[in-house]
């Protein structure tokens, strides 16, 4: 895998994600370990300090899977919100975990459970809680 871009993570998101990681089931262990690595290498800041071009939890993101040349729009959610969000992708899904903390224009190589690597690029953030001053969402 190539070098990963720097990450900026909302402090509230980091705290909530750490609880998810700590409670991960065996099925979610691979993603939990990857998320733990991302939290460890990311810069954690207060929600008010997140720029509007950074993917945070509950952001609606337009991104491209460069491996399959497929563009998608998804909202990055916690697992308990999957059923309540129309275009949701869970942070505990490999693709969801890869997007957290990236900026518009960033590209990341990310492992998938089938031993393959996918390359993703963040194209736009269509909605972001911090941009809307919803710091505790």
> How do strand 8-10 and strand 117-127 relate by DSSP bridges?
unpaired
pLDDT for 128: 97
pLDDT for 114: 83
User: Residue 89: which residues within 8 A CB-CB, separation 6 or more?
Assistant: 74, 75, 76, 77, 95, 96, 99
Question: What whole-number distance in Å separates Cα of residue 10 and Cα of residue 29?
Answer: 23
pLDDT for 113: 83
pLDDT for 112: 86
Mean pLDDT by 10 residues, the chain (137 residues): 84 96 93 94 95 96 96 96 93 94 96 89 97 84
- Closest by Cα among 52, 45, 56 to 100: 56
* This model's pTM is above 0.95: no
pLDDT for 4: 83
Do residues 102 and 57 make contact, with C-beta atoms less than 8 angstroms apart?
no
Question: What whole-number distance in Å separates Cα of residue 70 and Cα of residue 44?
Answer: 30
Question: What whole-number distance in Å separates Cα of residue 24 and Cα of residue 10?
Answer: 21
User: Residue 84: which residues within 8 A CB-CB, separation 6 or more?
Assistant: none
pLDDT for 137: 67
């Amino acid at each position: 895998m190539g070098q990963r871009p720097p990450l900026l993570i909302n402090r509230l998101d980091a705290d909530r994600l750490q609880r998810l990681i700590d409670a991960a089931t065996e099925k979610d262990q691979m993603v939990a370990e990857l998320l733990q690595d991302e939290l460890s290498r990311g810069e954690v800041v207060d929600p008010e300090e997140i720029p509007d071009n950074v993917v945070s939890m509950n952001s609606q993101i337009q991104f491209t899977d460069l491996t399959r040349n497929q563009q998608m729009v998804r909202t990055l959610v916690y697992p308990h919100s999957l059923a309540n969000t129309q275009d949701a992708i869970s942070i505990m899904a490999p693709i969801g975990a890869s997007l957290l903390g990236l900026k518009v224009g960033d590209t990341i190589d990310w492992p998938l459970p089938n031993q393959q690597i996918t390359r993703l690029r963040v194209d736009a953030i269509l909605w972001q809680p911090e941009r809307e001053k919803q710091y505790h969402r």
